[in-house]
Structure 1
Amino acid sequence: MNISKHGVSIGLDRVGEHFFVAIKAVGKLTHDDYQRLAPMLEAALAKVNEPRVKVLFDASEFEGWELRAAWDDFKLGLSLGSEFDKIALYGEHDWQAWAAKIGDWFINGEVRSFNDYQQALSWLAN
């Protein structure tokens, strides 16, 4: 029996003296995932005492979105874009560099793509 897993996990991690929101997407995200994700992400950001938030988005096991979920992702980015200082997009997908460039248009902070986990953490810590 082949079990397929998908979803998003959200946490708060620390590197040295720097805290950041850690988001890991697994599998192909659905509209239903975003119905659950948006309130959790908003609650996680409300608990962060920094004026703007650093985020590590781990896309190493991410397979993409359903069409409606892609729209949900875009709307969520627009609604929370002013909250972010830096977003490190980690994984080894061809679309990541493109997504980081597009993200820069809608997010007040910086967005960068990394295929090396340690480099992503180092950039967030600076």
Structure 2
Amino acid sequence: MEFHKHGLSIGIERFDKDFFLSLKAVGKLTHEDYEIITPMIDSALSQVKDPKVDVLIDGTELQGWELRAAWDDLKLGLKHNNEFRKIAIYGNKHWQEITAKIGAWFMSGEVKYFDDVNDALSWLTLNEK
């Protein structure tokens, strides 16, 4: 029997109205993965009026999405669009850089791709309050 590891792990830190989300995507994401993670993000953000969110996405082990999961990802982004201030995508594949550029079209905040996690974190914390 062969097992395929996949899913999203999430870290959520809150500082008053500011949130820092760290997400690690592994394998090929499924609709079921989003059924688990979406309520966690929705719940955390619903507790504060007008939250401002910075996000670090580690995609170094991401292999892609099932079609329905890609739709779930887009819906989640659009639902919280105005709450995202900066999204840093840390990856190691050229298609991830292209995906970041396309995702930036749908987001009101800034979206940027990095191939170095320290550069991503520096950018996220630049110009903080």
Same fold (TM over 0.5): yes
Aligned AA for 1:41?
I
Cα distance in 2 for residues equivalent to 1:11 and 1:47: 16
- Contact 2:19–2:52, Cα closer than 8 Å, also in 1: no
SS in 1 for 2:105: helix
How far has the Cα of 1:80 moved from its partner? 1.2
Alignment of 1:1-126 (within 5 A): 2-12=2-12, 20-46=20-46, 51-126=51-126
Unmatched tracts of structure 1, length 5 or more:
none
Task: Give the Å deviation of 1:13.
Answer: 5.4
Deviation at 1:2, TM superposition (A): 4.7
Letter of the 2:42 counterpart: E
Task: Letter of the 1:100 partner, please give it.
Answer: A
Give the structure-1-normalised TM-score.
Answer: 0.86
Q: Cα gap change, 1:5/1:68 in structure 2, threshold over 3 Å: closer, same or farther?
A: same
Q: Matched residues in 2 for 1:84 and 1:100: separation? A: 14
RMSD: 2.1
Residue type of the partner of 1:22?
S
Q: Distance in 2 between matches of 1:115 and 1:49?
A: 33
* Number of matched pairs: 123
Deviation, structure 1 residue 66: 0.7
Which runs of no fewer than 5 residues in structure 2 stay unpaired?
A: none
Q: Deviations over 1:79-104 (max 9, x none)?
A: 11111000000011111222222222
Post-superposition offset of 1:46: 3.5
| Closer/same/farther in 2, CA of residues 98 and 70 from structure 1, 3 Å limit | same
**Amino acid in the other structure paired with 1:38:** T
